[in-house]
Amino acid sequence: MATVRDVAALAGVSISTVSRALSAPGMVSDATRERVEQAAKKLDYRPNPAARGLRVGRTTTLGLLVPDLENPFFASITKAVQSRARTHGYAVLVADSDEDAGQELELVSMLTAQVDGLVLASPRSSDLSLLTAVDGRPAVLLNREVEGLASLVIDNAGGVRQSLSHLKALGHRRVAAVSGPAGSWSGAERRRGIETAGRETGVEVVDVGHFRPTFSGGVAAADLVVASGATAVLTYNDLQALGLVDRLRHRGLQVPRDLSVVGFDDVSVATLVSPALTTVSIPLAALGRGAVDRLVEQLDRDTGESRQDGLADLAEDEPPARPRLPVELVVRGTTAEPRA
């Protein structure tokens, strides 16, 4: 049976480079990764996660904490995290905080005793609470930035700017904004982005308040949106948008004839309704994969499995800077020119 030493010899690299190429491919150059993968395939080499875990004192398990697994956004994130973790030789424990910040911190405490590292998706707790709960353990935040913790975020401001520019181009001059949970970091980012874009475009933005990021949250916001006199609305996510459209339909109003609606996330159900939802598309799979890659990088650094090949390897394998992941407005059937 082939060993990691055999793969390193055939590929002409060090053992630690083989480890990086197979467990954290973003940490090596494409040429090095391809050379290692070809050598591993030729030798039919397969890493043994259990043996590796015993050697470095790990559980070979990662923890993923999400606010709501019923939300298709987090379901997609979960699938991407699990798939990427398997390629690194890790299993994943998933926990759902049910949008409860207090429960979120309890779950972090429970998970840290059972896993090597954590991915926290859109956590709602305060910065200090998260830092205290993580307590220096390997962790990556998704859709949240906290000083001292690794994170991966999207261009929230860019998404709402594209949305508002699209609505202005259609002729809308008064737009309602439905916010998500008060403790949502990405929600705060979007509100700031909407305010800035509103000033830049000359569109009047009416904030109708915070609502749960669910179908029922959209239903609850709909009447306030209508009362605002806006001809279009930006929602916190697609689930809110779908609930809002449903409530409008029950009131005898039509989308987009009476009100244009823009969602955020581009989850699978956005195209399963009629009319299909105009929304900001987020690279969900890239978010999940990127979080796992960054977490595995931390774990390998902690056990000294990376950066041990000298200055030449260091220069070659240094990962590129990670800017905010770009988003894109997808125009479908829920936006149109306002009624005259």
pLDDT tens-digit readout, 146-173: 998 999 999 999 999 999 999 999 999 9
pLDDT at 32 over 50: yes
- Checking if the pLDDT of 96 tops 60, the result is yes
* Of 308, 309, 283, 305, nearest in space to 296 by CA: 305
For residue 323, the model assigns a pLDDT of 61
Q: Is 98 helix (H, G, I), strand (E, B) or coil?
A: coil
Burial of 337 (0-12, 13-18, 19+ CB in 10 A): middle
For the entire predicted model, the pTM comes to 0.77
Residues 6+ apart with CB under 8 A from 311: none
Residue 317 has pLDDT above 50, yes or no: no
Say yes or no to pLDDT of 320 above 80.
no
